[in-house]
Amino acid sequence: MNISLFIAYILHKFGDDVFTLGLYQCILSFLVACFVAIVSIPVIIKISELKSLMEKPGERRSHSTPTPTFGGIAIYAAILIAYFLWPSIDQTEIYRANLSIVGMTILFFIGIKDDLVGIDPTKKLSFQVLAAMILVLFGDLRVDYLYGILGFHHIDEVVGIILTCFIFITLTNAINLIDGIDGLAGGIATIASGTFGSWFLLTNHFTMACLAFTMAGGLLGFLRFNFSKTSKIFMGNTGSLIIGFMLAFFAVRFVSLNASYRYEPTAFFNAPIIAIVILIVPIFDTLRVFLVRILAGRSPFSADRNHMHHILLDNGLSHINATIVLCGVSLLNTIMFLLLHRNISNTLSLIILGCLFGVYMFVSFTLKMRAKYVSATPRRRRAILRRELQNGITGKRIIDYL
């Protein structure tokens, strides 16, 4: 049966209940994307092994055996197949959603090159800007209303374009930076895309909801292998770039749609804060490592083992336990904020986020000190304790522990 006729039949069957049809389409898209990822990844693993396209262990790597890094290909294929399989119910968002596929495709090929032979950071950044500007200029996608945060409401068009582009670059690279242990980037992205997709669905933005659930399904299929001991695969830069880009798209559209419909009961009057909370782990971790590197006199883009997931591993947690902790933090903050957000203003919410970041810095400081102490020999531990008691902790040494 022709798909269009099938959709028409379903519409006739359900009458005006378009929400039910949208719900079914999201569920089917999720399942199809998950299926495509699951059946395609074994093929990618086999080809990677035959062609020796494996990532070897290293000082900053958290794996001990050569592992394929092209899981992003399966995620990309899953999104495309599951999204374009059905006609769109919601025509208002289809052009903008299709433009996001264009931007994602640009970053897909950049990621492939980066995984194979490496790419100059400036060139990679340039293509990220290009992908974002396609959506900003052709899709009229931008943040132009700040909901009264720190007294700001409507902002200038040029400022809005720059801010939107900055959000895309920041979130794209934030996901790339947390992709250091099994399941972390994929788990955080699955939670975030499922959360954004649920809001899009409940507010009848079915095209956006379908795209978000499609990505969640592809990620779930990927995670089945990312956690495997016998058929492990990483998403690579290919996966982290396209996932970060799509999450930025969902976040910006979430903020702009809430601004457009801010007088309706389904809208959030503090959408920017909620978007930050949904992506709190990659945002906080990226902000922290950049701040620490700058305070230490190094480039914020210099490589090290200073991310929170590295600190948790150094404290004895396994990959899966560290991922559960960080995904749990993300999920708990999202749920708590969605339950309490109507009782606090946007400026106060921003202050609370600042306090949470301070807690995050303190916890990382404490855990890093503990990791240095626990990993030392008993004699070394006594020496560390004596030195701390005699000298105290100076500002420079606080930065070292951060």
Mean pLDDT in residue range 327-356: 87
Burial of 129 (0-12, 13-18, 19+ CB in 10 A): middle
Which value, in Å, is the radius of gyration of the alpha carbons in the chain?
22
Q: Is the pLDDT of residue 266 over 70?
A: no
- pLDDT, residue 88, reads 79
CB atoms within 10 A of CB 327: 18
- Quote the distance between the C-alpha of residue 247 and its chain's center: 6
Q: Write down the domain spans for the chain.
A: 3-374
Q: Is the pLDDT of residue 63 over 80?
A: no
- pLDDT, residue 295, reads 83
Q: Is the alpha carbon torsion for 240, 241, 246, 249 positive or negative?
A: positive
Q: What single-letter DSSP state applies at residue 135?
A: I
Question: Which tokens go with 361?
Answer: 């810095």
Dist. CA 220–CA 234, nearest whole Å:
13
Q: Is the alpha carbon torsion for 157, 162, 167, 169 positive or negative?
A: positive
74-112 pLDDT, tens digit each: 999 999 999 998 887 777 889 999 999 999 999 999 999
User: pLDDT grade, residue 19 (50/70/90)?
Assistant: confident
- pLDDT, residue 134, reads 96
Identify which has the larger pLDDT, 46 or 22.
Answer: 46
* Residues paired with residue 227 on neighbouring β-strands, in sequence order: none
Dist. CA 209–CA 131, nearest whole Å:
21
Q: Is the pLDDT of residue 11 over 60?
A: no
| Inter-CA distances, 78 with 41, 109, 147, 246, Å | 10, 16, 36, 14
Identify which has the larger pLDDT, 139 or 263.
Answer: 139
Quote the mean pLDDT of the chain.
Answer: 85
Lowest model confidence (mean pLDDT) among 13-17, 197-201, 207-211, 213-217: 13-17
Q: Is the pLDDT of residue 235 over 90?
A: yes
- pLDDT, residue 322, reads 93
Q: Which helix (H) or strand (E) holds 68?
A: strand 67-68
Question: Which tokens go with 132?
Answer: 């974002």
Question: pTM of the full predicted structure?
Answer: 0.87
354-401 pLDDT, tens digit each: 999 999 999 988 888 777 766 555 555 555 555 555 555 544 454 454
- pLDDT, residue 86, reads 83
Identify which has the larger pLDDT, 134 or 365.
Answer: 134
Q: Is the pLDDT of residue 223 over 90?
A: yes
- pLDDT, residue 345, reads 79
- pLDDT, residue 391, reads 54
User: pLDDT grade, residue 164 (50/70/90)?
Assistant: very high
Q: Is the alpha carbon torsion for 19, 25, 27, 33 positive or negative?
A: negative
Which residues does 348 contact at the CB level (< 8 Å), separation at least 6?
Answer: none
Identify which has the larger pLDDT, 236 or 151.
Answer: 236
SS3 147: strand
271-329 pLDDT, tens digit each: 889 999 999 999 999 999 888 888 877 877 777 788 899 889 888 888 899 999 999 99
User: pLDDT grade, residue 153 (50/70/90)?
Assistant: confident
Dist. CA 106–CA 137, nearest whole Å:
16
- pLDDT, residue 15, reads 46
- pLDDT, residue 107, reads 96
- pLDDT, residue 399, reads 47
Q: Is the pLDDT of residue 197 over 70?
A: yes
Closest CA to 193 of 23, 30, 332: 30
